[in-house]
Every structure is written in structure tokens, then in C-alpha cells.
Chain A
Amino acid sequence: MSAALLKHWQRAMDWRWLLPVLLAGGLVVAFAIPHFRLLNNYVQLVLICVGINIILATSLNLVNGYMGEFSLAHAGFMAVGAYSSALLSMKVLPVVTHPALFHLAVLAGGLVTALLGLLVALPSFKVRGDYLAIITLAFLMIVKSALENIDAVGGPRGISGIPRLTTLPWVFCWTAALVWLIRNFVYSSYGRGVLAIREDEIASDLMSVDTRRVKILAFMLSAFCAGIAGALFAHLLQFISPRVFDIVKTTEILIMVYLGGIASIGGSILGATLYTVLLELLRPSTVAALLSWLPAVVFNPLNEYFIRHLGMLRMIIMPLALVMVMLYWPRGILGMREFRGFIPLGDRWPPPAVRPRGADVA
């Protein structure tokens, strides 16, 4: 980017009302799309998945990126949120007659998951690095096989017939709220503590960072968000089983985080969006729709080829892309950098041309 363009970009990003305007605009669009049927159901579904994946990637980035731990438990947290909210909305709350109660179920799913996040945070006082990764992996496996063995939640068959209540506008609201929550946490004094723990835990302890409290908060917040994403996911899919939340799901979220870049909220949003959209674009039906302008002589054999092979190819391309990103772009797209609009005004560099209101009083 040329210097002049960069300056314009910075000036645009420094506009105080940028995020509120973007959010309000996004909200209007999110409500308008289903109301006026601007996009078909498939595209809406993809957008909903993007929203859920943004929540997952951002919250995992809090632990794996900002705090520098390596957690594999995210799919387990998601499972807990999905199961608890699904049970609530099917057995306890009358969501069919009062759809607004759905949000209560989602919130409850998040809170239950946050409690489990506390359980994972406790061993992290003593154990770091590889061994913490093993603990989170064991947690994921225990959650999965516990769910498989509890007959009350369907055992290996899972739960089906969950009401479909996850809609695009509400996913937008949840995503915006949770990303805002995580962003504020990262730039709070606890967030500085999280960064300090990543750089050097012992030194930060000496500099009076309450490392235990910071770790508990970070793990619980991360788990809370994953639980909410799981709850939204359950009410979108209408069917959940322990098999959905396995190590492959965690790997997917890891790919989003590391593709977008560690320790960057903008990066996680970008990574989740790119990953979800690209994987959808590689579906045979999407490719066929994109290529339908070709003459039939060319189109038909191509289409046949894609229908037969693309499903496998995309599963091969995905992990290969991850390895390539790690080899040639180890920090991801926005690793350790941030979308300028997300950084608090006082922290931006170079400082905004217009000083924030009240700054010149002091």
C-alpha cells in the first residue's frame, strides 16, 4: 500500500463512529436479509456459519493466541454448550411458544460451559505447554465419551428434533456482542495480564499480575463464548451427536485461528470468514453454479468431474493449506497485528490526527 493510501486508510479507521456505524449497518442488513428474502437460504446458512465460526475462532484466539497456551478443548466446550442449551430448550423452556426464551437457553449453555472452563483453568496453574495441550485433549475426549455413555442425552445417537431458532439477525447480534466482549477483555488490564503471561509467566507474577485470576478469567471467557457458539450451532443443525464435536472440529477452529493470525481479533474474524467461505466455494454444487455460464460441451464433463471428486479434494486441500500457511506464513494473515479500528484510540500508532475528546483537557 502506498504511503498516501495508508494515511487515508488510517484516517478513515480513526473515525470515532466507524465501529458503531458499521455495527448498526450490519444489524440492519442482517435483519433485512431474511425479512425481504434478499439472499437464498443457502447463502444465509453460510453467513450464519461464518458468524458461529467467528465466535469460535476469536474465543480460541484468546487462549491460544493472546495467552500463548495450546488448547485443544474447544470442540468439547462447544459440545457442552450445545447439549445443555438443547436440553433446556427441549425439556424445560417453552421456546416453541416463546421464541425469545431461546436466548435464555443459549446464555445458560454459555454459563454452564464457563463453569467447565474453570475446570480446565485449574490444572493450568501447575502445567504449561505440551502437557496443558494434553490435558485439554483429555478433556475433549472425556466430554465426548461421557456424552456417548449418558443415555439421558441419547448416548451415541445424540439429540435430534431441536427447534430451529438460530437466525441470521440473532447470530449477528451474538457474534457482535461476544467479539466486543473479547475485544474489551483483551484491552482491559486483565488483557494486559494475559499478554504478560504469554511473554513470561514468572516475570509477570513478579510484576504483580494475578496470574491465577487472569488465567481463570481467560479460560472461562473463552469457554463461555465456545458454549454460546455450540448452543447456536445446535439450534441451527437441529441435530447433535458426540461425533460432531471431535478432534476434527477442534482442528478446524485451530486452522481458522492460525490462518487469520494469532493474537488478533481482526485476524480471527478474517480467518473464520475465509475458511468457511472458501470451503463452501469448493462444494460441487457451488462450483457448478459459478461455472454455469460455460457452454454445455465444456460444462457437463467438468461438472461430472467435480461432483465425483471435489468432495474429496476439498478435504485434502484443507489440511494441505494449513501446512502451507504454517510453513510460508507462520504468523497467519494478521498475526500479532490488529485491525486498526479495534485498537483503543489511545493505543493506536501512529496516534490519530484528531485527539480523542477530553484528551486536551488534561
Chain B
Amino acid sequence: MTSASVYWLQQILNALQLGSIYALIALGYSLVYGILTMINFAHGDVFMVGGFLCFLAATLLGLPFVPTLLLTMTATAGLGVIIERMAYKPLRNAPRVSAIITALGVGLFLENLTLAFYPYPQHVPPLLLNVTWRLGGLALSSLQLIVISLSLTLMLVLDYVVRRTMVGLAMRAISWDKTYVPLMGVPVNLIISITFAIGAGLAGAAGTMYSLAYPVIDPYMGIMVGWKAFIAAVVGGIGTIRGAMIGAYILGGVEIIVVALLPSTYRDLVVFSLLLALIVIRPHGILGAPRAQKV
């Protein structure tokens, strides 16, 4: 292989890793939006809490990778349910803006609370033995493979849950109609809580993998990663599961290409400009269907 093609192959791998993490977070945005048509702006900070929980489990409890991952996912799922029950549920019939503002407030609260405990960036210890294989000029790390394959597995499981199980059926029913579905015996509150738990659990998994792949974590890391994942969800068509995955990999690819070609400070500029262009041209995203507005 020529060195240029090896270089780009390497970039594709990096893009897949970044895109996988974005996808896990974007799914949480998309799930919640699909059911409640609400942008859960605190989601990026749940991801950040996941990163810090992974750090805690690894340093304080000294757990290996798999228990750390499970513990983090469970804890963030619980956090998601608590946030939903305490902050969003009372506002379900309030104007949409109130819920958005509350979400912003919850996010800021999580950031500052973490900041109170960890004012400085923390180094996450390596939980996994990181082996790097060299194939030609290509550096293939075991961590990268684990991140990509684990994310893909989680996404496949989620896709199965949403499409093939009763819970998934109930979720899709609630996103379709909120007036008559409860009359059919669907436990709306339970299903919404489950949705938040799934979304937050995926964000926790993303936080764990992010803090292992990029091992310096700080309380504000959730803002930028969260917004990017949100963009990914919008690009793919917010409210659709597969759209969020596609959007996340597109975003990961665009970011890696921009960084490879331009100074890395242009990354956000390009990404947000693309988002702006996309929303003006195709507001419902790649896979989303435009919702008819009732007059």
C-alpha cells in the first residue's frame, strides 16, 4: 500500500472510533426527541458524568473494564431516570420552552457539581491492555477495535429492542400519538422512564469509552461532545434511530477530514457551518420524514 492510502485508512479508523462515540450519545437525543419531542440538553452532561464515574470506578474501586462499564451504564441510567422524574415530568404539559430551559439548567448543574469535586482535568488509568498491531504502516489498536465493536453491538441491541420487543413497540406507539395510546393500556410514564434510562445508559457507555480512548477528562467535556452528538442526531434526522447512527458516522468522518486537511481549530467552524446549511436545505435530516404542521 502507498503511504497516502495507509494514512487515509488510518483516518477512517479514527473516524469510526469518534463516530461510534457520537452515535451512542446521539441515540439518546434521538430516542427522547422521538418520544417527547423535547431536546434533552442535559444529555451531554450525563455523558460527562459517565466519564467521571468510569474514572471513579477505576481509581477508587479498582475495577477492571467490564464491571466498570456495567456499573457506569447502570448509574447513568439511574441518573437519567432521576432527571426525568424530577425535572422533566412535571413540565410535560408546560410550554416546550420551559422543558428546554430546565434541561439547560440541569446540564449546568451537573457540570458545576462535578467541577466542585474535580476542579482540574483528571487522568483516567488505562483499564484495558492496549495492544497495537502494525499491518504495513497501519496502526491498529485493540482499544480502537473494542470501542468500535462494542458500540456497534450496543446499537444493534437497541435497534432490536426498538423494532422487535414490546417495550420498543410501546415507545414507537407513544411517539406516534400521546392522547389515545395511554387509553390502550400502554404505561406511558414507565415507557418514558425506560427511554430515558436506555438513552442515559448508552451515554454512560459512551462516557466510559471516551475516557478510555481520550484519557484526560474534565467537567466541561460534555458540552462540546454533547452538542456534536446532537448535531449528528439532527443531521441523520432527529427522532430516528438509524438516522442518528448514520449522522454520527458522517460527523465523525467530517471532523477527521477537516482536522487532516486544515488546522484543527477550524473543526468546529466547519461542523457548525455544515449543520446550518443542512438545516436550511433539509430541516428534517437525512432519514427523518417532514412532519406536517397542522393549521
Contacts and interface: CB of A to CB of B under 8 A. Distances in A.
B158 interface: no
B283 A131 contact: yes
Contacts of A247: 223
A248 interface: yes
Interface in A143-200: 144-146, 148-149, 155-156
Interface in B105-134: 105-109, 112-113, 115-116
B65 interface: no
Given A123-B280, A148-B265, A327-B87, A70 B97 contact: yes
Given A134-B234, A316-B112, A123 B98 contact: no
A142 B266 CA distance: 10
A254 B98 CA distance: 11
| Secondary structure call for the B interface | helix
Interface string B178-221: 00000000000000000000000000000000000000000000
Contacts of B276: 135, 138-139, 142
B98 A326 contact: yes
Given A146-B269, A312-B115, A316-B116, A134 B275 contact: yes
Contacts of A323: 87, 102, 105-106, 109
Contacts of B223: 247
Contacts of A315: 112, 115-116
B106 A316 contact: no
A323 B295 CA distance: 33
A40 B97 CA distance: 40
Interface of B: 37, 39, 87, 90-91, 94-98, 100-102, 104-109, 112-113, 115-116, 223, 227, 230, 234, 263, 265-266, 268-269, 272-273, 275-276, 279-280, 283, 295
25 contacts: A126-B280, A126-B283, A131-B279, A131-B283, A133-B100, A138-B273, A139-B276, A144-B268, A145-B268, A145-B272, A149-B269, A251-B108, A254-B104, A258-B101, A315-B116, A316-B109, A316-B116, A319-B109, A320-B105, A322-B105, A323-B102, A323-B106, A326-B91, A326-B98, A326-B102
A-B pairs, top 5 by smallest CB distance, nearest first, are: A319-B108, A322-B105, A312-B116, A319-B109, A315-B112
Interface of A: 64, 70, 123, 126-127, 129-131, 133-135, 137-139, 141-142, 144-146, 148-149, 155-156, 202, 247-248, 251, 254-255, 258, 312-313, 315-316, 318-320, 322-323, 326-327, 330
